[in-house]
């Protein structure tokens, strides 16, 4: 294959010389920014693997192939990589079965707005040797579905089937363009063997100069000024932050906005949107604050509060800034607002900050200063009370999860990247674990457990010099296909530390049962069917079998030293699992 020629700004298409369709496919991945292929291969992917081998044989650069023993783990790794870099990667799976195996990981990617290119093979189109690549195994009849893309259509922004090699460049360019355009998300491409094995000499690739990613919109300035004035006039402004932290510039803007107008800030578990060590941060639950707020600003948030638990004052002024305020993929969603702006929040918040600075008056500043003093006092009191509660249980055996959270907060480095999937321990963790702009706190953005340990592989690929730490419940650990994730971390030198909050139970389900059936039969007989994970599996044996370091921790005095040992292992290239046995709730 000839090297691609550099395109001038005026060139619409570039001619790329190839040998067959799979060569064009690999060239397209390279041209449009794919650095990693997270693959779980099958009898339909081998033309791509051979095309990669041909380039490697010539000493040419190709995307790095990360073999994932489980498809959902591979998709989670691509998800984690995107969360750190903002660059979509490729996930290559086997026909209908591999597509179905993506499962909840695809749901998480959809709700997190994580861009990626999912590519699946399909049963060959021919079976009488009409062209190369036709059916040659009984399974090729078994695995064909009437609508393979229908398996994932509700979770993706776009799907398509490559029909001939000539359009490979156009199709891949379109796929990446749709995936990366905000609101970003996964796309799905079906690639049969025949076009991959089609002999072809030249393919036209759309040039990046003429086919860019869409520029996100700014907010209407008049509306921004109105919001700014409402925030300055308010006696109790509240900011509810969602996904805006995916753009780090937004975090700084929000800190300055909260400082200027004396607002309290709550965050939802989607991305690091606001430092929880900032005095204005009052927790993850907005329900405790919205009834007293007379001005509420919602930024990139899907569910700002639970309507059955609390609702805003009827007189409160509510403003919403979101790149997709209507959220068409959510069938039932309705929250009140006086003004809704569709805009890139990282741009809109800069506009809002400038408007606040321009319009604030001295008398208003005095009022805000008094309010900020009270907010800081309450913040310090909250931290003091949390510490007292934690110290009270510091010697409890079995280990109290509050003490585990406190130990993690004191031992993990400030600049580490935390992947959090602790479920019922999430509120406590976010309240106690200090996070600022030096580090990161990532969650899946969706509701399907099993994301963190796979995502940790992708995060470590993106940030090889940082400590990467997955905090997971025991259920989330099992759902994450740990053999696949740990094995990949060993093979591809992406070591991370996993701390398991092991309460030997699906406590989230039990909590819901107890909430709606407070005098339940299950409680009376102390038997909650289908929730008990005891005796607990020995997760450390699983770790060692996969090439990682493992420890079981049952003594509360050992937690901090165990975390030190775990980090020592990861810094020396070995993934580590700390299985912390907690008291039953």
Q: What is the pLDDT of residue 10?
A: 75
- Mean pLDDT, rounded, for 158-177: 96
CA dist list (Å): 484 to 40, 94, 272, 575: 11, 16, 27, 13
Q: What is the pLDDT of residue 1?
A: 46
CB contact set of 530 (below 8 Å; sequence gap of 6+): 506, 509
Pure H helices in 393-520: 401-411, 426-432, 452-462, 474-479, 482-491, 507-516
CA dist list (Å): 581 to 129, 134, 530: 59, 53, 20
CATH code for the structural domain at 13-206: 3.40.50.970
The C-alpha atoms of residue 71 and residue 69 are separated, in whole angstroms, by 7
Domains 13-206 and 393-581 equal at CATH topology level: yes
User: 247-261 pLDDT, tens per residue?
Assistant: 888 999 999 999 999
Q: What is the pLDDT of residue 9?
A: 72
Architecture of domain 221-378: 3-Layer(aba) Sandwich (3.40)
- Mean pLDDT, rounded, for 335-342: 95
Q: What is the pLDDT of residue 218?
A: 94
Distance, CA of 108 to chain centre: 7
* Radius of gyration for the chain, computed over Cα atoms and rounded to the nearest angstrom: 26
Position 270 confidence tier, pLDDT thresholds 50, 70, 90: confident
User: 281-322 pLDDT, tens per residue?
Assistant: 998 889 999 999 999 999 999 999 999 999 999 999 999 999
Architecture of domain 393-581: 3-Layer(aba) Sandwich (3.40)
User: 106-124 pLDDT, tens per residue?
Assistant: 999 999 999 999 999 999 9
User: 387-405 pLDDT, tens per residue?
Assistant: 999 999 999 999 999 999 9
CB contact set of 494 (below 8 Å; sequence gap of 6+): 456, 457, 460, 461, 464, 468, 488, 575
Q: What is the pTM of this model?
A: 0.95
CB 194 within 8 A of CB 132: yes
DSSP 8-state symbol, 181: S
Question: Given a cut of 60, is residue 493 above it in pLDDT?
Answer: yes
Domain boundaries, the chain: 13-206, 221-378, 393-581
Question: Given a cut of 90, is residue 49 above it in pLDDT?
Answer: yes
């Amino acid at each position: 294959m000839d090297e691609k020629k550099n395109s001038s700004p005026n060139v619409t298409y570039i001619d790329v010389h190839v040998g067959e369709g799979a060569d064009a496919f690999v060239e397209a991945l390279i041209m449009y920014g794919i650095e990693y292929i997270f693959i779980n291969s099958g009898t339909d992917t081998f033309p791509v693997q051979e095309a990669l081998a041909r380039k490697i044989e010539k000493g040419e650069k190709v995307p790095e192939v990360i073999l994932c023993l489980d498809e959902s783990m591979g998709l989670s790794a691509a998800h984690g990589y995107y969360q750190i870099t903002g660059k979509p990667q490729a996930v290559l799976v086997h026909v209908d079965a591999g597509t179905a195996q993506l499962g909840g990981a695809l749901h998480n990617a959809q709700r997190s707005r994580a861009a990626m290119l999912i590519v699946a093979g399909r049963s060959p189109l021919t079976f009488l040797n009409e062209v190369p690549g036709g059916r040659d195994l009984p399974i090729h009849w078994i695995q064909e579905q009437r609508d393979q893309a229908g398996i994932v259509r509700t979770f993706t922004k776009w799907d398509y089937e490559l029909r001939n090699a000539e359009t490979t460049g156009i199709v891949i360019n379109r796929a990446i363009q749709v995936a990366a355009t905000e609101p970003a998300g996964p796309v799905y491409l079906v690639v049969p063997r025949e076009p991959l094995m089609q002999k072809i000499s030249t393919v036209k690739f759309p040039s990046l100069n003429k086919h860019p990613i869409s520029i996100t919109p700014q907010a209407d300035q008049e509306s921004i000024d109105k919001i700014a004035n409402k925030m300055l006039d308010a006696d109790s402004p509240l900011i509810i932050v969602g996904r805006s932290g995916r753009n780090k510039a937004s975090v700084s803007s929000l800190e300055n906005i909260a400082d200027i107008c004396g607002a309290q800030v709550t965050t939802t578990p989607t991305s690091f949107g606001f430092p929880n060590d900032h005095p204005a941060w009052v927790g993850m639950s907005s329900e405790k604050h919205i009834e007293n707020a007379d001005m509420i600003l919602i930024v990139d948030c899907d569910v700002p509060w639970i309507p059955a638990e609390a609702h805003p004052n009827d007189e409160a002024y509510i403003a919403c800034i979101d790149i997709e305020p209507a959220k068409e993929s959510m069938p039932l969603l309705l929250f009140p607002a006086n003004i809704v702006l569709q805009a890139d929040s990282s741009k809109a918040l800069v506009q809002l900050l400038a408007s606040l600075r321009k319009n604030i008056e001295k008398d208003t500043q005095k009022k805000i200063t008094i309010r900020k003093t009270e907010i800081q006092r309450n913040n310090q009191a909250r931290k003091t009370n949390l510490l007292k509660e934690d110290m009270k249980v510091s010697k409890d055996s079995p280990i109290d999860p509050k003490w585990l959270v406190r130990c993690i907060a004191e031992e993990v480095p400030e600049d580490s990247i935390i992947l959090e999937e602790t479920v019922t321990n999430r509120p406590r963790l976010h309240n106690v674990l200090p996070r600022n702009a030096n580090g990161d706190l990532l969650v899946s953005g969706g509701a399907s457990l099993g994301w963190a340990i796979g995502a940790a592989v992708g995060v470590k690929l993106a940030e090889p010099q940082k400590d990467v730490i997955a905090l997971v419940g025991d259920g989330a650990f099992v759902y994450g296909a740990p053999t696949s994730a740990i094995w990949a971390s060993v093979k591809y030198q992406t070591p991370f530390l996993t701390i398991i909050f092991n309460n030997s139970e699906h406590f989230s389900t039990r909590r819901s049962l107890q909430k709606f059936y407070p005098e339940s039969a299950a409680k009376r007989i102390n038997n909650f069917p289908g929730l008990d994970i005891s005796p607990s599996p020995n997760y450390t044996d699983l770790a060692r079998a996969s090439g990682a370091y493992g420890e079981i921790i049952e003594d509360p005095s050992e937690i901090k030293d165990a975390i030190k040992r775990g980090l020592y292992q990861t810094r020396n290239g070995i993934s580590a699992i700390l299985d912390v046995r907690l008291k039953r709730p």
